[in-house]
Amino acid sequence: MAPMPASITRESRPWERWLARRLMASLNDPDFSLELWDGFRAGATLSSVGTFRILHPTVLTRLCWQRSLAFDEAYSEGMLEVQGDLVEVLLELNRALARSSPNWLGRLSDRWQRTRHPHSFADSKSSVYHHYDISNEFYQQWLDAQLVYTCAYYSQPDLALEEAQVAKLDHVCRKLRLQPGETVVEAGCGWGALALHMARQYGVHVRAFNISHEQVAYARDRAKAEGLEDRVQFLEDDYRQIRGRFDAFVSVGMLEHVGIDNYAELGRQINRSLKPHGRGLIHTIGRNAPAPMDAWADKYIFPGAEPPSLSQMTEIFEAGRLSILDVENLRLHYAKTLREWHQRFEASAENIEHQFDVRFVRMWRLYLCASIAAFLSGDLQLFQVTCSHAENNDVPWTRADIYRSGERGGVSPSVRG
């Protein structure tokens, strides 16, 4: 186990206590308290949610300047502790931030949070390596057996994670109204679960793009093991390299990495990729209104990620002369999915610490819990958007078929072409 930084023993000074009280006041006195290294407490003394414990004076001053970045780094390094349920405390923090109007502190620190990333092929590749190529083994410890690393769909609230991920794959396929023999292109295919599901369960031919080397290698092995190589082709390449026309275009959990500046290009790509009667679906983390990415997540977890608002997403469809047919917001499904991941993560925390170190475990714990809190507080949304060419009149008459039980869009699960 990596050594934790020693906590400091000196007393907090008057200006530090003043700063701690100012920090809490700027949040309109939320339902948690702030405790300094010497036991001084600011804010709710009989807190019902929890306490942030600052273990070192530098954390306090950095908090004022770099807010979430300082908070998250200090937490990862063990210089800030949370007493109480981490998700609950972070949720209360989000709600307090939403209630408080931006003050001088907020405006100053926003300067730190506004980072923009280019998304050239090389940049995208390096961002994706950063996150997805850590190691398949790491993700296998807390994702479902199929390694679906996107929001599940709990068609019934009591589904297990594995079932809810299959339900998500089916929900996407039903929205795409896949028919046997059709062709599908997938932009950003992860470890291949959706591509394989579409080919296996719906009898379609899939070309799946991904720039993560490890993921593509894993997906190809699975296709081989399942005898689906003739129906699913995994390409280690950028979505901008898609050529040809398909009956469906699908992208689940890639848009976050595309970069808003590239949305018009993506829209034109979808336009070029879809046959006249083709259907498109984008599944993405989003926001209610444009906002910069959290600086810490941007630096450590997802470099270059930008969850868009629907207004920002419309750029894709306008540029691609596409018509939005359906938008579904599955925000709370992602909170539930992340809770499952977090539970499994904690069960494997010792293993993961051994594989990496304690800082890595704390960083990922914070990332998972902060994400749960963000979906619960409404800071993040999950959008599934279905589209078609603007002039296509061969679109589903209603959405009732998606919800017809026993039906499965295309073919029965036993069809294997």
Smallest gap from residue 94 Cβ to its own copies (A): 9
Q: Which is nearer to its own copies, 35 or 92 (CB)?
A: 92
Q: Which is nearer to its own copies, 233 or 392 (CB)?
A: 392
Q: Which is nearer to its own copies, 203 or 308 (CB)?
A: 308
Smallest gap from residue 399 Cβ to its own copies (A): 7
Q: Which is nearer to its own copies, 69 or 90 (CB)?
A: 90
Q: Which is nearer to its own copies, 324 or 368 (CB)?
A: 324
Residue 113 has which token pair?
């949070």
Cα 51 from Cα 202, distance rounded (Å): 51
Q: Which of 140, 136, 142, 204 is nearest to 169 (CA)?
A: 204
Burial class (CB in 10 A: 0-12, 13-18, 19+), 130: middle
Burial call 226-261: b when 16+ CB within 10 Å, e when fewer: eebeebbbbbeebbeebeeebbbbbbbbbbbbbbbe
Smallest gap from residue 49 Cβ to its own copies (A): 16
Smallest gap from residue 277 Cβ to its own copies (A): 13
Contact 197, 152 (CB under 8 A): no
353: amino acid identity, one letter: E
Residue numbers of the site for its own copies (CB under 8 A)?
95, 98, 153-155, 157, 288-289, 309-311, 314-315, 317-318, 321-329, 331-332, 376-378, 381, 390-393, 395, 397-400, 402-404
Q: Which helix (H) or strand (E) holds 219?
A: helix 213-225
Smallest gap from residue 292 Cβ to its own copies (A): 15
Smallest gap from residue 186 Cβ to its own copies (A): 23
Cα 409 from Cα 171, distance rounded (Å): 9
- Compute, in degrees rounded to 10, the torsion defined by CA atoms 19, 23, 28, 30: -110
Smallest gap from residue 280 Cβ to its own copies (A): 13
Smallest gap from residue 364 Cβ to its own copies (A): 25
Q: Reduced to 3 states, what is the DSSP secondary structure of residue 302?
A: coil
Cα 250 from Cα 282, distance rounded (Å): 6
Cα separations (Å) of 333 from 19, 98, 327, 370, 376? Answer: 38, 22, 15, 15, 10
